Amino acid sequence: MKRKNISVVFVATLLAFSSVVKAQTVKSPDGNVVLSFSLKEGGMPTYEMNYKNKSVIKPSRLGLEPARDKHASKGLNETDLMERFIEMGYKLSSFDETWKPVWGETSTIRNHYNELEVDLNQPNSKRNIVIRFRVYNDGMGLRYEFPQQNALNYFIVKREHTQFAMVGDHTAFWLSGDYDTQEYETQISKLSEIRGKMKAAITDNPSQTQFSPTGVQTSLQMKTANGLYINIHEAALVNYPTMHLNLDDKNMVFKSWLTSDAVGNKAYVQTPFCTPWRTVIVSDDARQMLASNLILNLNEPCKLTDTSWIHPIKYCGVWWEMIASGKPWSYTFELPSVHLGITNYTKVKPNGLHPANTENVKRYIDFAAKNGLQEVLVEGWNVGWEDWFGHWKESVFDFVTPYPDFDIKYLNEYAHFRGVKLMIHHETSGSTTNYERHLEEAYKLMRMPVFRYS
């Protein structure tokens, strides 16, 4: 890692929250992205963002709403972290380094940004928070930081109120907001049309939980009428729920919408703590949206000391026959339900369509060997697919028992002979307790020579 320069400027302030505070501004290294922060009337944290003198994010509020809970630092007397702040100080700094990813599109990545740290105090609650902005040539990231303090040691996030106020009725490339799945087709429409198109955008899936008629998932890609491309997403998502976006389609303002747990809470925080980064990537060149490394730069550095086992591969897979050609994962159509260790597959009639069979997988192995592919992915090889989804069922798969038409020992040996590895798929179907119960035996099977698991 090569670090080129670091410079820091500190400016101390103490400003009353009863009036609007003069904005602090930080620009990207090339000067094209300009971000401003200020406390609006009532001590409300607010930011806005421009790109090449064009507005990207109009003034948008920041803050979080802790839940009233007896286990939090303030218990049932909990107050919000959205207003009544005063600014204690701010710091401007610059950072420039080049680092090497474990793998990726490029061998090195430049991490070059200017940073604004704003230190806030809420006198009535005696709490301090930090809002940190990092501004790159292709956008910005912001996050909330909570130093450890007596008045803010443990708290539960009820809602996060980060806003992204759009300048106009942009064209959006969106997926329906859903806590459980991303398996939807991308919709293309104006922001104002999302509400009217939402019902048709929700295709049937056994695991679905929508939250709003204008809720969409991140990352959200948009194109403006004046030629800008905007992407809203997040980075460094650790010990915090995924962020979706809920659109106020009267005012064209997105607000962060966090995935909740079973009782409606969003996050359980013990300070010191930092939220994930909320990111906005912007460019007037669509190619730069794909080339951006902003999210990679905002993610935490790799903590693994040994990364030698991580490497890219090329593979083909039987899975595509099921997805693209409509062939079944299941071995038979005769079983209304499966009981692991009890159901006898030798007593049922094969459906004759099951693609994860010995002869078909052997054909894939030959294809991989001929075309220089390292591995063959096999999904649907193990018993249990007849009733694997759409039911309240815990014991779904055992991850070791193949279907009668899948000779795992022979295929493993044949793949080894051809210089190819089998990539054996594990489908948890969301039943993590069942997977953990069978994990040790499943890994023993995977220790066979040249095996991989997915």
Q: What share of the chain is helix, strand, coil (3-state, %, to 5)?
A: 15, 40, 45
Q: Phi then psi for 23, rounded to 5 degrees? A: -70, 145
Tens-digit pLDDT string for the chain (454 aa): 555 555 454 444 444 444 455 789 999 999 999 999 999 999 999 999 999 999 999 999 999 999 988 877 777 888 899 999 999 999 999 999 999 999 889 999 999 999 999 999 999 999 999 999 999 999 999 999 999 998 999 999 999 999 999 999 999 999 999 998 888 999 999 999 999 999 999 988 767 888 999 999 999 999 999 999 999 999 999 999 999 999 999 999 999 999 999 899 999 999 999 999 999 999 999 999 999 999 999 999 999 999 998 988 999 999 888 888 889 999 999 999 999 999 999 999 999 999 999 999 999 999 999 999 999 999 999 999 999 988 888 899 999 999 999 999 999 999 999 999 999 899 988 888 999 999 999 988 888 665 655 4
- Looking at the DSSP bridge assignments, the partners of residue 440 are none
Specify the CATH number for 24-298; select among 2.40.50.100, 3.40.50.300, 3.30.465.10, 2.70.98.10.
Answer: 2.70.98.10
Fold type of domain 315-451: TIM Barrel (3.20.20)
CA distances from 434 to 96, 399, 424 (A): 47, 10, 18
Of 312, 328, 318, nearest to 415 by C-alpha is: 318
Count Cβ atoms below 10 Å from residue 185 Cβ, excluding itself: 8
Give all strands of the β-sheet with 33-40 in edge-to-edge order. 24-27, 33-40, 44-51, 54-61, 163-165, 253-258, 243-248, 215-216
Q: Is the pTM of this model over 0.85?
A: yes
The reply to whether omega before 404 is within 30° of 0 (cis) is no
Spell out the domain ranges in the chain: 24-298, 315-451
CA distances from 376 to 99, 202, 314, 383 (A): 33, 33, 9, 19
